[in-house]
Structure 1
Amino acid sequence: MPLLLLKDLPRYECLIDAAKTFPDLDPSACEAYLYLLRTGDEAFRITDENLSAHHISQGRFSVLMLLLNKSECCGAQPRTPAELAELCGVTRATMTGLIDTLERDGLVTREPDPVDRRMMSVKLTARGNERLGEVLPGHFRRMAALMSGLTESERKTLVSLLLKILDRASAIGSRPPFAPSESASPAA
């Protein structure tokens, strides 16, 4: 689902005009923000097209990828539903629904946690691995195609810039909302 419903973004000159009415509007910040959202929407759309062709949702794909990463990188240690919910940024109830459908389709299994028998662990099944083997080649090709317009150096710069934005988002998210007459200072 797109975050930004605009396909045609306002011209910079229009943002400058709007800043006359809305003094808190920083035209260059607004332009960069709108392009960030628009680009994110397009990247999401490209990923979603591939996942839809394989009849899998973004949420289910995220869970499968977290379980794949855990098994491939860290010695096949399953994750608890609570860990998966935290890593996906969803509620535990939402994660339960995702796991239920993945388990119904035979892509994951729930097992008693080997350390704490009161807990359940979620593991990727052989069928789940196969399914990812079908989805990932197209996913990786689309990702590479999308980023192919950037050099390696530009990609590193992009990552660095996006990390700065993520850092600011974390800082802003932990503060109370701005009052109507208050504006964010660049150093805030």
Structure 2
Amino acid sequence: MNDSKIEAEHLFRKKVLDTLDNQSSINIQMNFWFNEMMTYHGVSYSEYRIIRLLRKYQNGIEPSVIADKLAILRQTTTNMVDGLQKKYLVERSPHPVDRRRIYIKLTPEGVELSNKLVEEMSSVQSSVLSHFTSEDMEKYLDIRTKIIKYTEDEIKKRYTEES
């Protein structure tokens, strides 16, 4: 391979790595816009994530499960649940057997809002995706899946006891 091809390959790889580094800034931007959308309805995007999760558990789930499933700190979960409870969107109920444990579930108002938010989010996402072909989306998903897999493999190889 000649020097110009090596240089072009190097620049291309740098561009790809810069794009991967910027992936988190893309997520930040997306969260900003989703937060704008949710604020219109009186909740933050983070609160929406809890509301959306609680839709799946009509009988409620423990705060620790919320934290684990959403990959957020337990104290953050407690603070957000407190805020949602003040807005009458969630309620705490005692565990049927162990009184030390509690469940968090949506109130009727929370269910109503969650239905509206999920429908609106779906509409926005459908509109955005309409700008892409099926082939574009397949390529994106394929590349994204590979990046996640190879990153996981590389981290495990370097930093876990499995190696």
Alpha-carbon shift at residue 31 of structure 1 (Å):
4.2
Tell me if 1:48 matches 2:48. Answer: no
DSSP-derived class of the 1:56 partner? coil
Of 17, 23, 27, the residue aligned with 1:30 is 17
Q: Is the 8 A contact 1:50 1:135 kept in 2?
A: no
For normalisation by structure 1, the TM-score amounts to 0.67
- Relative to the length of structure 2, the TM-score reads 0.76
Question: Is residue 46–residue 142 contact of structure 1 (8 Å, CA) maintained in 2?
Answer: no
Question: What displacement does 1:35 show?
Answer: 5.7
Identity of aligned residues (%): 21
| Deviation by residue 1:45-88 (Cα, 9 ceiling, x = unmatched) | 332221121121111111000001x23xxxx3421100100111
Question: What is residue 135 of structure 1 aligned with on the other side?
Answer: 117
Structure with greater proportional helix content: 2
Please list every run of 5 or more consecutive structure 2 residues that lacks an aligned counterpart in the other structure: 1-6
Unaligned runs of 5+ in 1: 1-15, 177-188
Whether the 8 Å contact between 2:54 and 2:60 is mirrored in structure 1 is yes
State the superposition RMSD in angstroms. Answer: 2.8
Q: How does 1:1-188 map to 2 (within 5 A)?
A: 26-34=13-21, 36-37=23-24, 39-68=26-55, 70-71=56-57, 76-171=58-153, 175-176=158-159
Number of residue equivalences: 151
**CA shift for structure 1 position 131:** 1.3
* Cα deviation 1:89-143 (Å, max 9, x = unaligned): 1111110001111111111111112354331111111110111233233222211
Write the deviation string for residues 3-57 of structure 1: whole angstroms up to 9, x where unpaired.
Answer: xxxxxxxxxxxxx69x69xxxx942432432564454344333322211211211
How many angstroms does 1:147 deviate by? 1.2
1:142 match: secondary structure? helix
The 3 A distance-change label for structure 1 pair 39 and 147 is farther
Distance (Å, rounded) in 1 between the aligned partners of 2:149 and 2:97 = 35
Distance 1:145 1:90, change over 3 A: same
